[in-house]
Each structure stands twice: as structure tokens, then as C-alpha cells.
Structure 1
Amino acid sequence: MEEKNLHLKGDKTDKKMKAYKHLKKALMWHKVKELWSKGLNKSQISQEVGIHRKTVRHYLEMDEKEFYNWIGKRKNLPPKLHGYYDFVKEHLENHPYLSASQIEDRLKERYPDFPEVHSKTVYNFVQSIRSAHQIAKPKNKHVRVFEKREETAYGEEAQVDFGVYNLAKQGGGQQKVWVFAMVLSRSRQKFVHLQTSPFTTATSIYAHQLAFEYFQGVPRHIVYDQDRVFMVDENYGDLILTSDFQHYVQNESFEVVFCRKADPQTKGKIENVIKYVKYNFLRGREFTNIAGLNQSASDWLKRTGNRKKHSTTRLVPHHEWLKEKEYLLPIKNLLKEPEVASSKPYTVLKDHTISYKGNFYSLPVGTYKGENTQVLVSHEDGKLVVRSLEKAHIASHTISILKGKYIRNRDHARDKASGIEEKMVLAIDKLGNTDKAKEFIEGIRNDKPRYLNDNLRLILSKTGNQDTEVVSKAIDYCLENSYYNALKFTELIAYFKKEKEPALVISHRKPQVPQQANTTPATSKINTYEKIIQQ
């Protein structure tokens, strides 16, 4: 019965959507006819209402009766895309969160001879498959509000930021990938470089040079976060750069601009690029090797990232870059790969540590695979960096100047590969097993993957036997304000719990009079005292 009701509800929703689309088309048809009657030609009408010239011509060829018969007919799938039905259906079933834009990009990547069709055609094709097979797309209810800034001049500014993303590996497991991205603020031309270890100052400088080669020039200013890759300290507003980066800036054409931390108003463009790379390019891919992934990223930029109309400017970034590159400054430094610190193989001990210059340094649980397990160890930027024999990043430690010490990262002691999914299920169940609870726990996983275990443990230990209404209010507040933090969540539970408690009522009672106060004291007659005095 419940399934039937859901089906009927879905049918009603589909009918409402269809009626809404028909109404939009009808209003557009009347608008086209009105502008035509005023003497505008087809091209002018197309620019005025924002539809293709062929659609304008099609509308003008129909009278009102023909138009309503046309929109009432059931539309067939575009014949050009029939052969791709199974490919799209399989992708949507395996990855329902993929957007139509991502599906279009995957089709072009998989099939070099994919026909030239409008993105709207692909969108309708994807939506029809979703509807036919009831493949709903998970909704993200978080909307960040940004204030619109004036466009910068050509060649004036670029923005830089970093990101990290977990990719599934062929054969199982995950591979963490670090992202460097730069975007020219005016044209929105993007550049992306990926690697399997955190960016250091040296590798970041190399990524800058790759970006300048890609852009064929250097912008006058580059906006950054106050990142430790580039800064060593902030002295009451005076930013102190790392020596290598400061030397690089002094010998290149651009000036640095550091914005405040978490300041989307200043560097919202690059934040959107990082999100675009994660959720349009990386999401749903499998990792094979970093060289192949960087080549795929380059192809994606040519095909989608810089070739599709930007949602804000409504212009194609590549076309705008052809203008902007004329305003860029010349590149002073020649492209040079960063010097790779010499690595030496070290044997991993049974307790998941390595012995390095008289000290023991921890490694993640699971690194030791048996006798003769080895890792590569190097000294980079004052840190001890440990990589696998395949050069994948494993751990980093500050080098101790003392001897006989055990330098331990507490996170290494946890076997994160086992039990984490079970803990997530238990935490969701503790929070009521609702869609919002799932969204909140998944948000913690995406926002703080390194501290997921800590957050889950806190939720499991602090949210038992709580009022469901209080828990629901705390989850809503966290989702609305993007607070993916268990400590903040438990504090909100305590706050809403206290808020729900009834106010203390002070009753006004009559004061209790002690029993002794009602006792009547003994008295004597005055005549008795007078007789005593007269004697």
C-alpha cells in the first residue's frame, strides 16, 4: 500500500512538472509572437528571449492550435543518442549523484565520435532515463550565499587553491589525490594539476610554472589562502612567506595577495573551481596512475572545464582566454621540475614504526605487511616524509632533535579500514536513521575524513537516550550552517535540551511561623508587685 501511494505521489509530481514545462513553453510562444508582431527579426528575438534561432523559427511556423497539439504530443528520445542508453543507465545506477553535465563529459570521453548535440538534449536524455528507471539524484540542500563582485580587468588577477579527494582504486581500496588549481579571474580559464602526496613549497612552485605555461603568461596578482605551503607565520597582519616561495615571487612577474581564512567573498571563483574538479571530473572515477589521471584532467579541461559556457558569465572560458592572454605578463622562470629529495628504503618494524637516526616514527596500522616490508624515507622541508615503494604518500613527521624518542601520530594507531562503515551505520541509527542524519554523517566524512573516527566515537558516546526532537533540531542547525563537527553537534544538543526544559516557577508561600511564637507568656497582676515594693 505504501509503495502504491509513493507511486501515485510520483505520478502527481511528474504531471505537475509536465504542466509547468508546458506553461513555460506556452508563455515563450506568445512572447515570440508578440516580438515578431513588433517587427523584430528571428535573430533579435532569439537574443531577447534566450532561445535558439531554430526554435524561434519553429514557433513562428505554428499557429496556436498547432502549437498546443505539438506540446501535447509525447516526445521520443533523440535518435542520435539511442545507442548510448545502456551506458548512461549503467552510470546512473552505479553513481546516481552524477549530473547530466558529468554524464555528457563521460560520453565524450568514452566515445570520441559522440555526435554534436546541445547540452540541453543530453540533459533531457538523462532525465528521461532517470524517470523511466526511477533513479533519483540525491539532493544537496546547502546553499551558500555570495555577494557579487565587479569583474576584474583582463590579465589582472588569478586565484589559487588546493583540495584533496579520495578515489576508488581498481581492485579495491582508495587512493588520496591532492589537487592544485588556478583560475584566471576574468576569463575563468582553469588549470588543474594532481599528485598523490601533499603539496610542498617546491611542488607548488612547479604547479605554478605549469599553469603559466598553460595560460601562456602570468597575471599581475594571485590571490591565496593563508596556507602553510606559502607562509610560515602571520605577525599581526604582516605575512611572512616561506623562504623558497618568497625567492620565487621576487623572481617572477606577479604579486601575492593573501585573503583572510575562509573568505569566499574574495576567492569564491577558485573555491567553485575546486568543487567543480571534485564533483564533475574526479567523482565516480577509478585511480590507475597519476600520469594517466593528469592526462585525463587535461582532456577534461579541453572538452568541458574550459569549453562549456560559464554559469555566471554565460561566456566560454577558452574564448575569453584568447582575449585575456594578450594582457598577461611574460614568464620569467623556465619550467623546471622540482628536485626530488633523495629517498632511502627503510624496513618497517612489526609495531608499524621505522627507526630513523635514533628515533622511532609511527606509521599507519596496516603498513607492515610481513618481513622485509619497506618504505621510502626522505627529508623534505624540515619534515620526515614516508612513501610507499610506488611513491604514494604514507606519513609525515616533524623530525625530533632528541634521541631515543617515539614520535607518534595518534591517528596512525587506528585501523581505519576496519569498522568505520559499521560505526557510520551505528551513528546514523543513534541519530534516528533519517535522511538528514545520513546527510550529516556523510558531511563529516567528506569534510573531515582524517577525523571521522573521532567524530563518530563522540557521537556514539554522547547522544544515547536523547530526545528525538532535540537531536533533529541540532542536525537541522548543523546542516543549515555547514557545521560538520561532532563536538559542535553535542554542544547544540545540550543547548536545545536546556531550551526545552520548562522555566523554573517560583511559588509565593506564606512564611511558616515557628510554634514557639504562638506561646503566650505567663503574666502577674500589678497588685502583687505593689505589695512587694511597699514591704
Structure 2
Amino acid sequence: MKGWIMFNKIKTLKEQNLKITQIARILNSDVRTIKKYWNMSSEEFELLRTQYKQRIVGRKMDIYEQLILSWLKEFNDISGAQVFDWLKEREQDFSMAERTVRSYVEKLRKKYELPKLKVSRQFLAVPETDIGEQAQVDMGQINLLTEDKKTKKLHLFTMVLSFSRYKFAIWQDKPFTSNDIVQCHHKAFEFFGGVPKTIVYDQDKTMFVTENLGDIIKTDLFQKYINTMNFKVHLCRAFDPQSKGKIEAVVKFVKNNFAKHRVFTNIDDFNELCLDWLKRTGNAKEHSIIKKIPEEMFHLEKEHLQQVPPFLFAKEESNSNIVPYSLSKDNTVTYKSNRYQLPKETYSDKQKEVGVVCEDNQITFFNLKTKESINTYEISKDKGKLISNISRNTTPDPKVLELKSKILNRYSNKNLIIQYIENIEILKKRYIKSQLKRIDSLSTEYDKEIFLNAIKECISKDNFDLDFLAKLLNNTKKNTESEPSLQNIPDKLKNIVTETRELSEYEEKLVKLC
């Protein structure tokens, strides 16, 4: 089977009106090969190559047919990926691709009518809990459009009493923190007028650090809250949503029945509308499982809930209102579509977040560890702006100052040099150090007067390219070298007076020689 290169060569030579025998000689190929592809189209050639590959692959895989077949018969749910792994385990030099093996396994299943066993998980209905015994908690998210047609992500906290199916829901326009979760719990308990004995949770990082083989490690704030509220925690296993199916259904109900297709204005109005919905629909509609109205059942369950203890430290925590926000590497914090500039070097490997407090139309940024204020701005009503009150003036580079001083000290007429360097700083500020180094080198290489004249010409022609300055200096040097001048005589020889003799002395000597 020939490749595309040979096929294209044949077609190209054919277009040049060469005969089959001529092409065979040029390509050093058999005449029958040229005839085979003479009238074949590109599509037919591709189909032929595909069929050829399949035959080759099939023949290569056929040596494993009986082995794979035995595995399929013994393990009717085995996957093609596992067959591939077993073949590689048996033969270290096994070179077939995984996709090829999976296709071959599927072919054998069809050929020998060995469909793969589909394992479906079976569930049992969870028995109803005792009255006042349990609640379930979960969180969700939804994206809504705002009035200006932008997308806003909202975060949902829900709690449901398992016996009565009485629901509580509250929304936030930023991700939940541990402190937010505690506050949401407290608002739920105040809404219910009591605390259940046990609450069922997912493994959420705002509340739980790790499951630790049953010894659940909670965040410090949440552990303190649990101790004060006196309820037990039941943590679901990972990837097992069925163990808290009641709250899963509530999250979907709140999102789809209340939030979906609403236009978001602000979080306070949204939560007020949600409470109205709970009263109107969420807790007033007959439940499809228990066939009773949650609000009516709640009147029975409320009497069996534990009393809500006072939680003083929760108020202390909330009074600070410090919310963690991510700090970018350019020392900016994004808040309501604007970026607020913090001082340089606020960001570090140890500080990638700052605290944010918004009060009286002002936003203040804090160090989360020391609680010290970093900067304060008025909250901007614009969108997509960089808000900054930080001066960008930087301390001059000591090396730059040293180079300037070194160059200027060579000349009595410093004004021309200063004017030239100032223009260089304006035009090439980022490269000022390297520019000054070259000016320093040129100023030591050439005579002072020549250098100053070249600088003066650069300024008059408004050209501050150092290559232009170097070219002027070089041309001046060539001209002075071609014309004899005292400038070419070393200083120590300029004041020497040569001795002269009378012409008669030379005449007398010539007479004697003759």
C-alpha cells in the first residue's frame, strides 16, 4: 500500500502529460502500481488506506482474540480500557493504542453477542426521622442577569427540617466564608425558632477540614458554634448525595421555582423576595412525598426543637464585617467590577488575600492577620475602572544619579549635557541606565570640545538617538585626523622650541667634503 507522497507524485506527473511507463521509470516503480492509482480519486485512495489499516490492525489484534474473548466471558462488565491494561501487563512491548483495543473489544462483543453488563446502583428509601430530630444543610449557585444585562453569580444556603420539610433559604452575592456559614445557621435557627438535634452536611471546606476516618475535623469557628448550639453533626460520604436527598431537592426547588429567570437588582431585595416566596409557595405548597403542607407540619415540629442559645461571639465576629478578598499580583483587589489599587508589595507568598469592609459608601482594606488598615477608597459606581490614590513616583536609581554626576563633572558647560540627558529621559525612560552608560563611554573617548559640539548639533536637529551622536563624533574624528593640526601633537611636545643654524655653516661643511 503506497502513501500519500507517492500518490501525489503520480497525479502530478500525470498532469504533465507523461505516460505510465515514463512515470514508472521516474519513480522507480512497477507499471502495475502506476496503473492501480492512475484513475483513482483522492477520496477513493483515502478509503483504500483506511480499509488497509483496519485489516492490518485486525490481523495484529487477532492473535489476542481468544485471550480477550476468555476475559469477556468470565468478566462480563470488563472495560476496553482494562483489557488494554492487562495486555500491556502481559507484554511490555505491546504497541497497540488504547483506542484500537477498545474498538476491537467492542467488535468482539458484537460478534459473539457478549453485551457489557451495566451495573446500576440500587437505593432504599430513607426512613422518616423523628419529629425535631434532624435538619439537612446544603449550598448551591446560580447565574442570573442583572438590569444592565450582565451575568451575576449568586450563592445559596438552604436548611430543611427533615420531619416537616419546612425550609429556610438565604442568598449571598459573594462566596461563603466560615463566618458567613455560621451567620446563615443562626438566621435559620431564628427563622425556625429552635435548633434540631442533628444536622446532615456535605463535606464543605468552610465547615470541615477533613473527615479523618470518622473523626471529623471542623474549622475552629464552626466547632465553636456547634459547641454553643449543642447539635450533632452527620457528615455524608463523598459522592453520596442520596443520603441527604431532602435538601438536594430543596436546592433544586429554590433555584428552579424561585430564582430562575429573575432579574437581579441587589442582594437585600433578592432575599426579601425569597422570604416572601417561602411563605407563599416554598412552605405553603403540599409536599409531593409526605402529601402534607410543610407549614402545617412545622407547627407540630417547632415544639420539639431545642431552644436557640445566645451566641455572643458570633456577633463579635460579625461586627468586624471583614470579608476576605483575593489580592492580585499587581496589588489590586476586584470589587463590583472595579479594581482598587493597594500599595506596592502588599501582595506576597504569605499574603494573597486582604480583608474588605464596606461602610458609608467607603471600602477599606485590611491586613487579615494584624487587622491593620491598608487603604480606603470611596466605592466607585463605574465599571471596569482602576481606582487608585497611590503615587507612582519612585525613588531615583542611585546608579543613574551616579552616572549623571560622573558625566557632568567632566564639563564646565553643563547646560548642554543636562538638556541632552533630560530629553533622553523623556524619550527612553525605561532604558535610561544603559543610555547613560553609553554617553559616559563616548564622553571619555572623544575630546571635550568635539563631544560638546556633537551634543549641540544633536539638540539643534532634535535627534537624541545615541547612534546619531556616535556617528557625528566618528565623522569629526576622521576629519581631524586627515588635517594636520596641533591637536594631533601631544601636549608635552607642543612647547618645545627647535634649535636653528645659519645657512653658512652648512655651506662650509659642503666645501670641506668636496
> The TM-score by the shorter chain falls in which range?
0.3 to 0.5
Higher relative contact order structure (alpha carbons within 8 Å, sequence separation ≥ 6): 1
Task: Give TM-score scaled by structure 1 length.
Answer: 0.40
Whichever of the two has the greater Rg, that structure is: 2
TM-score (norm 2): 0.42
